[in-house]
Amino acid sequence: PLKNTSVADPYQYVKGDLVDLTVNIHKELQSRNKELTELAKYYFDGKGKAIRPAIALMTAKAINQHLGIINSEVLELQKKVAMAAEMIHTASLVHDDVIDVSEMRRGKPSANGIWGQPKSAVAGDFIISAATRVMAQLNDADVLICISQVVADLVQGEFLQMGTRESESDRFNHYLLKTFKKTATIMANSCKAVSILAGCDSHLQNVAYDYGRYIGLTFQIVDDLLDFISDSSLLGKPGLADLKLGLATAPVLFAAEQYPELNVLIMRRFSQPGDVQTALECVLNSDGLERTKELARQHCQEAQRQARQLNPSEFRNGMEALAQLVLQRLK
């Protein structure tokens, strides 16, 4: 069983910062074009989980405590990393909804649903430019390298997702690499960036990076699980989206070990009539969902183990509690 950290709601430690974050992001997205600004700000409605900035800020506070940093100027710089992480993530969602032709996001019409594909695509670029400007204000080349790596990884993750591995034995590694690049890189690199700003040595930078990496992998593995078990009204988007997009995630990959006939469907990306239904039935009859849960649990524990390398503090507990929250989330 997982160690039960005593923090009931880790968000309490970063709530105020997250309110400022949304306000500051809105400021960065001002432009002379009213429609562009409206579109760019559309997903920053303060209703998202803001899990990425929460992770970066909690890690920043735990590390500052660990190093005895009481200088609030350092935290002000670290907040800009949290801000850029949320902006890059959201820009990628604006692009993602264009690519996936999604009509809904978080229970409301997607940006492309309202403004159309061309305007959404360029507005995503506009958000990236604003995030780049925020990062440039930090005057730190190593931090800039971390954050540019995030954008490169997101793009490569999307490319990985568009391809299917021929060999069954490669598929799981391909899935984990895709998952890192698509989701975990942003947590890993923003945690590393805040540790650089705190002046951490390379060991502590790696601790921060690995914490972000493991919590990010946990997040996406849970996401892949929820796509199978959650109700679309809870998700705010249709369920079984991955199968419908041709994507084989952990539940299907595990199920294919018990039902090898799934491999043909995986290779053709569930494109024939009935494929999605067949795959779903195999997953539900297999132990794929249970094994996916176990995989998420292991990654969560690993994130918590990284956090415990820091000196004890309420923020370190907050890091552990955030990992737990990511594991247990329902949407």
Q: Which chain residues interact with Mg ion by CB under 5 A?
A: 96, 100
Residue-wise DSSP of 32-56: S-HHHHHHHHTT-SS-S--HHHHHH
Residue 52 in contact with ligand FPP, rule: CB under 6 A: no
Identified binder of ligand FPP from the candidate list 38, 140, 158, 287, rule CB under 6 A: 158
From 18, 88, 215, 307, residue interacting with ligand FPP (rule: CB under 6 A): 88
What is the C-alpha separation between 190 and 197, in angstroms, rounded? 11
Say whether residue 241 binds ligand FPP (CB under 6 A). yes
93 and 183 Cβ atoms separated by less than 8 Å: no
- Which residues, at least 6 apart from 26, have a Cβ–Cβ distance to it below 8 Å? 41, 44
What residues between 179 and 218 interact with ligand FPP by CB under 6 A? 182-183
Site for ligand FPP contains 177 (CB under 6 A): no
Instruction: Give the nearest distance from C-beta 183 to ligand FPP in angstroms.
Output: 6
Q: How far apart (Å, rounded) are the C-alpha atoms in residues 161 and 135?
A: 28
Binding span for ligand FPP by CB under 6 A among 32-40, 68-76, 153-161, 275-283 = 153-161
Q: How far apart are CA 243 and CA 35, in angstroms?
A: 35
Among the residue ranges 85-93, 196-204, 289-297, 317-325, the one whose residues contact ligand FPP (CB under 6 A): 85-93
The 3-state DSSP composition of the chain as helix, strand, coil percent (nearest 5) reads: 75, 0, 25
Q: Which does 128 bind (CB under 5 to 8 A by kind): Mg ion, ligand FPP, none?
A: ligand FPP
Q: How far apart, in whole angstroms, are the C-alpha atoms of residue 236 and residue 123?
A: 23
CB of 218 to ligand FPP, least distance (A): 15
User: Hey, which residues between 6 and 35 contact ligand FPP (CB under 6 A)?
Assistant: none
Binding residue for ligand FPP, selected from 91, 250, 262, 296, defined by CB under 6 A = 91
What angle is formed at CA 164 by the lines to CA 159 and CA 246, rounded to 5 degrees? Answer: 85
Question: Applying CB under 6 A, what is the total number of residues that bind ligand FPP?
Answer: 18
CA-CA distance, 152 to 133, in Å (whole number)? Answer: 17
**Least gap, CB of 202 to ligand FPP (angstroms):** 27
Asked if 249 and 224 count as a contact pair (C-beta separation under 8 A), the reply is yes
| Per-residue buried b or exposed e for 296-315, using 16+ beta carbons within 10 Å of the residue's own CB | bbebbbbbbbbbbebeeebb
Q: Which of residues 114-133 bind ligand FPP (CB under 6 A)?
A: 124, 128
Q: Contact 187/169 with Cβ under 8 angstroms?
A: no
For ligand FPP, the binding residue among 99, 121, 177, 276 (CB under 6 A) is 99
The stretch near ligand FPP (CB under 6 A) out of 60-68, 86-94, 193-201, 299-307 is 86-94
Q: By C-beta, is 10 or 124 nearer to ligand FPP?
A: 124
Q: Are 60 and 198 in contact (CB under 8 A)?
A: yes
Binding site for ligand FPP (CB under 6 A): 88, 91-92, 95-96, 99-100, 102, 124, 128, 151, 154-155, 158, 182-183, 237, 241
